[in-house]
Amino acid sequence: MLFNSIDFAIFLPIVFALFWTVGRHSAKMQNWILLVASYIFYGFWDWRFLGLLAFSSAFDYFVGAELYRQTDKRKRKMFFWASVAVNLTLLGFFKYYNFFADSFVNAFSFFGQELNLGSLKVLLPVGISFYTFQSMSYAFDIYRRELEPVKDIVPFMTLVAFFPHMVAGPIQRASFFLPQFLTHKQFSYDLAAKGLKIMLFGFFMKVAIADRLALYVDAVYGNVDMHNGWSYMMATLFFAFQIYGDFAGYSLIAIGCAWLFGFHMSPNFNRPYFSTSFRQFWGRWHISLSTWFKDYLYIPLGGNRGTKARTYGNLFTTFVVSGLWHGANWTFVVWGAIHGAFQILERVAEELKFPKIPRLLAIPLVFAGVCLAWVFFRANTVQDAFQIVGGIFTNLQGKPHIGDIGIFAFSLMGILMLFLIEFVQEYYPDVNLLNHRQAPVRYATMVAMLAWIITLGVFDGSQFIYFQF
């Protein structure tokens, strides 16, 4: 069930009404309503994977109980690694089996050896990367004595399956989010109104900006041989704003939807394209995932403790794994490696006391580097990505592909509008039109946003990009 679908428009009010009427007397009833609703929500994609979701959640629940009960360090480690092994095995099989099988076959063929591992028609469960990490964080936090296990399995299973964030995040730390499922929620009109407004802005970013930009991006990246460097450059610029509008829009809808039920989720984006360094970019982009990898991979690997070479190795490994997490394709691995290299180069420059780049120059430089990496993220193959990068620097004859002049013009308008909104939020944070003190300003902003969505939005049921991960 997509957020931008008729099904969800019917589903959400029903769950909202049940939650605040039938469930108004106890937290237990509220959790049951959300749990059943979340499984129905997920079942709309493929009911066959409901068992996988339930097993993954139940397994980590019982592992968490044992981790807390055990005092023997060896046994605690055994249960901890059991959680890691089972979760990553499930994730690896469903998401990466064919990728690794094909990679091994190609590697052996390169050396003249034939290897037949066979391929399986494995369906990818929607959101498995997100809910697996969400479930694992529970065991991790208990293992590190940062969280006590819950006695009732229902709040934990509701946490993992909570429909606003189950499919594409934001990934919430169990130690932060789980306690909210243990308290009885009281309806707040102000919080619900705030949630609806932030959902409106999320739909604006998705339907009116991201999906509009996708029309041009898909035309170029889907037919690489037919375009020149100017078209590659334009499509890559458009994709940078498409993926931001798509994923940040989803995150805002998820956060706003959670507010409707009285839950608070940590933010996932903070105007990343105004970053003055790649380190700052990853503090502003997909914040929940970057902090997850920092806390549960980078620091356990050693973080910045030890030699510089070890620190650089830990950084690079973390970003490569992050790239692989995004998808079973070498394009994502290269994308992660590029960001890892950028992180290392920045640290080397700091250690060599390079002069600090002025903000007005640093922002476009970082954005250009991010766009270079986006080429590999969006391209269908590594070969296509290198063709696009090469074309940007060498194939600048002719004119860029425009296609439908209306689609192109509306795409540029969307980018300009999003940039202006982000600029105001970055440099004039007190100017918030959706939450302005004057009611006429608030209502005018909402009406204008709705009008933009209705007149310029793309209503083709486009799936959110991060749903594939």
In a domain, 331, yes or no: no
Residue found under tokens 């709705």 = 450
In a domain, 392, yes or no: yes
Last residue of a domain, one of 184, 210, 245: 184
Q: Where are the alpha helices (DSSP H) in 327-381?
A: 330-351, 359-378
Domain with 441 in it: 191-276+357-463
Nearest partner of 188 among 264, 262, 266, judged by Cα: 262
pLDDT for 62: 95
Same domain, 161 and 139: yes
Question: Tell me, what amino acid is at 355?
Answer: P
In a domain, 315, yes or no: no
Same domain, 21 and 109: yes
In a domain, 340, yes or no: no
Same domain, 31 and 92: yes
Same domain, 74 and 174: yes
pLDDT for 125: 75
Same domain, 395 and 433: yes
pTM for the full model? 0.90
Same domain, 27 and 157: yes
> What are the tens digits of pLDDT across the range 427-462?
988 888 787 788 888 889 888 888 888 887 777 655
Same domain, 121 and 81: yes
Identify the segments of the chain with pLDDT beneath 50. Answer: none
pLDDT for 26: 93
d(CA 464, CA 4): 9
From residue 340, alpha-carbon distances to 115, 150, 267 in Å are 32, 37, 23
Same domain, 197 and 145: no
Same domain, 400 and 448: yes
Same domain, 25 and 128: yes
In a domain, 96, yes or no: yes
Last residue of a domain, one of 121, 150, 184: 184
From residue 153, alpha-carbon distances to 87, 137, 323, 334 in Å are 18, 16, 33, 40
Last residue of a domain, one of 184, 211, 227: 184
Same domain, 270 and 126: no
For the chain, what is the domain count? 2
Active site residue 286: no
Choose, from 227, 326, 339, 401, the residue flagged as catalytic.
326
Those residues whose C-beta lies under 8 Å from the C-beta of residue 241, and which sit 6 or more positions away, are 209, 210, 213, 414, 415, 418
Same domain, 207 and 225: yes
In a domain, 24, yes or no: yes
In a domain, 398, yes or no: yes
In a domain, 219, yes or no: yes
